[in-house]
Chains A and B, each alone.
Chain A
Amino acid sequence: MSQNNISQNNMSQNKQTKQRKAVALISGGLDSLLAARVMIEQGIHVEGINFFTGFCVEGHTHAIRKKDKAKPKRNNALWSAEQLGIKLHIIDVIEDYKDVVINPKHGYGANLNPCLDCKCFMVSKAMEWLKENDFDFIITGEVVGQRPMSQRKDTMPVVARESGANDLLVRPLCAKNLPATYPEKQGWIDREKMHGFNGRSRKPQFKLASEFGFSDYAQPAGGCCFLTDKSYSVKLADLWQAQGERKYEFDDIMLLKMGRHLRPRPHFKIIVGREEGENNFMEGYKNQFTSMYTLSHTGPFVLIDGKTNEDDIKLAAQLTARFSHGRDASSVKVMVRQADKKEFTLDVTPIPSDDIPKEWYI
């Protein structure tokens, strides 16, 4: 009997007739696409689930930067679902995910990526969804030995156990290397028609993709989220250090994805828009932060994050001037706007680039 207490309505009598339903975690990458497809081949009704944590690489900054707008952008999870001909449920888990990032029981990977906790979290969320929607089991595209932190032989049972999915978690790409799951034991799915992939090689996946006729699938270089990105993680760690505690709001993590970040003083940092798309997007935050831009010359839109005094504002204005087209002028006029909408101008000398210590750049 499954370790999960789910009503299975006379399963054994019905197993020939009842249409079994599985929810597949769809990241937008190749492995989850293949895993779902392997189960569809076996006659399982599959629907996809995709979790939006706020750190996902999908969409976002690609849409902000103007130079990227020419390239048509697609959401790979939606694309995968369309290729598979299945429904996709995109779930906002921004709030619940905070605890995963802030307090990962199993620690971080190379950067601030809590991959093992993240996997446990996502499978546990899929388990909640399964119960609410009366589905039978969960599918992931995990492969034993594929990733150093979250997809090792010894961590596969951790995900199954800590998520509460236990033997209702099926990994069709490496099922033959793992103990039989409940759906296999019940004969809902055929173990022999699943796979025994393992290790870091991607060749078996590419071969299977071509057998299924999939091409043009997404192949993210790093992981599926910004937390695997070194420079992003450094900015997040800086935010925690400056706040004196590990916490974040959705707007914080959005702003970490854009602009140049400089921290000239421990109590404030500036975010300098790098191009028009970012400038426009950052302007949307002008009622939450003090902001500035140059009046006498064209230049970036700048947000000031932190509590500032008069000297700090002057320094921020000199930096703003430095990043404007007035960088070599003797005086640049800067408009300063406080979050309470009070505005004033400052005439400043741009700070010479040699006077900007490297450590200010986050």
Chain B
Amino acid sequence: MSHHTLDARRLLCPMPVIKTQNFVATLAQGDTVDVICTDPGAKNDIPAWCRINGHEIIGMADKDNDIVITVRVDNQNN
């Protein structure tokens, strides 16, 4: 299990979701990733995408001007 960081700053939705989706597809079960975004829309869209695809949101925090959304990968049903 490893931890990763994905830079999705200055991208507008749905690009942060697409980036997250494509990156998560390369990760293993239980891996975690901090997705760093600036579009506040990602606060709705990334959790919605995770709910649909069975992944888990384990953190969401505002840091300076960024939003950090932490996703735990669950590929078991994929």
Chain A interface (Cβ within 8 Å of chain B)?
50, 52, 56, 58-64, 69, 72-75, 77-79, 81-82, 86-92, 254, 284
Contact = CB atoms under 8 A, between A and B. Distances in A.
Contacts of A64: 12
B41 A62 contact: yes
Contacts of A56: 14
Contacts of B44: 72-75
A52 B22 CA distance: 14
Interface in B1-50: 10, 12-15, 17-18, 21, 39-41, 44-45, 48-49
B40 A63 contact: yes
B21 A63 contact: no
A78 B52 contact: yes
Given A58-B13, A90-B18, A75 B45 contact: yes
Given A78-B45, A88-B53, 5 more contacts: A60-B13, A75-B45, A81-B52, A90-B18, A254-B12
Interface of B: 10, 12-15, 17-18, 21, 39-41, 44-45, 48-49, 51-53
Nearest to A77: B14
A78 B48 contact: yes
A63 B39 contact: yes
B12 to A, nearest CB: 5
Contacts of A58: 13-14
A75 B10 contact: no
29 contacts: A52-B14, A56-B14, A59-B45, A60-B12, A61-B12, A62-B41, A63-B12, A63-B39, A63-B41, A64-B12, A73-B13, A74-B44, A74-B45, A75-B13, A75-B41, A77-B14, A78-B49, A78-B52, A79-B48, A81-B52, A82-B48, A82-B52, A87-B53, A88-B52, A90-B49, A91-B18, A92-B15, A92-B18, A284-B10
